[in-house]
């Protein structure tokens, strides 16, 4: 029985020694949160963060406005205090060293009441313009299009024209090689340069000078 008691005391002593050694390698931050009249603020949220490691811990002040954050690794921390009805306060570059207790008090000022604005109007359309034109069978049959090429019908759509430099279809003023053309759901673009396959006829009319005619 005596041996069991001695063994238990040895184990307990080792545990306490290890715990004390572990705590000795840490630090802590404590303090009190007041209002402008120096009255304590219970229930305030104290947020402790360390950017280098992503560490974050939250505690609440007790009934007398005090807080304590223990077992902190040595390093630099940022503290933020929040409480409904008060403007938040932040303390940066709070340095914690081994075995030290750092005291940081806060004084919170009464914050402005929060306001919520509800917008019931429809949102403004900020997307790019997307003009469209639909040509029915009658139009396709009767329009005087030379060659019955679908590309010739595309230029009847608003903002579509032939890019004179490369002979490509230009949509909304962009370069023809940046256009994406699909025919019956299949890709109809040049695989290397981009733009429609085969190019397009230019809108410009070539005029033969009179001096060249004999």
Question: What's residue 22's pLDDT?
Answer: 44
Instruction: Give the pLDDT band (50/70/90) at residue 187.
Output: confident
**Where are the chain's structural domains?**
27-108, 137-203
Q: Does residue 16 surpass a pLDDT of 60?
A: no
Query: In 36-187, where do the E strands start and end?
Result: 45-50, 55-60, 66-72, 75-82, 89-96, 101-103, 106-108, 160-163, 168-171, 182-183, 186-187
Query: What pLDDT score does 119 carry?
Result: 43
Q: For 1-5, 46-50, 193-197, which range has the lowest pLDDT when averaged over its residues? A: 1-5
Between CA 29 and CA 84 the distance in angstroms is 23
Q: What does the block give as tokens for 124? A: 């403004």
Report strand pairing: 106-108 vs 45-50: unpaired
pTM, rounded to two decimals: 0.45
Are 95 and 102 within 8 A, CB to CB?
Answer: yes
- Is the per-residue pLDDT at 40 higher than 80? yes
> With bands split at pLDDT 50, 70 and 90, how would you rate the model's confidence at 121?
very low
Place domain 27-108 in its CATH homologous superfamily.
Carboxypeptidase-like, regulatory domain (2.60.40.1120)
Residue range 172-199: average pLDDT? 68
| Cα–Cα distance for residue pair 65/196, rounded to 1 Å | 72
The predicted pLDDT at position 112 comes to: 55
Cβ neighbours of 9 (radius 10 Å) = 10
Query: For all residues of the chain together, what is the average pLDDT?
Result: 74
């Amino acid at each position: 029985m005596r041996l069991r008691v001695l063994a238990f005391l040895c184990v307990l002593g080792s545990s306490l020694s290890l715990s004390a050694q572990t705590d000795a390698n840490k630090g802590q931050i404590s303090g009190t949160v007041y209002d402008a009249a120096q009255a304590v603020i219970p229930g305030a949220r104290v947020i402790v963060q360390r950017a280098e490691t992503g560490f974050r811990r939250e505690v609440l002040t007790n009934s007398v406005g005090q807080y304590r954050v223990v077992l902190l690794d040595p390093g630099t921390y940022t503290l933020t205090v929040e409480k409904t009805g008060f403007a938040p306060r932040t303390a940066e570059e709070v340095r914690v060293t081994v075995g030290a207790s750092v005291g940081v008090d806060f004084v919170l000022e009464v914050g402005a009441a929060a306001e919520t604005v509800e917008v019931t109007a429809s949102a403004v359309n900020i997307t790019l313009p997307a003009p469209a034109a639909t040509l029915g069978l009658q139009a396709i049959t009767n329009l005087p299009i030379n060659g019955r090429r679908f590309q010739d019908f595309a230029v009847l759509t608003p903002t579509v024209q032939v890019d004179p430099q490369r002979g490509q279809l230009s949509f909304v003023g962009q370069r023809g090689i940046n256009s994406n053309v699909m025919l019956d759901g299949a890709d109809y673009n040049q695989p290397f340069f981009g733009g429609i396959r085969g190019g397009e006829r230019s809108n410009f009319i070539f005029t033969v000078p009179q001096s060249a005619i004999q």
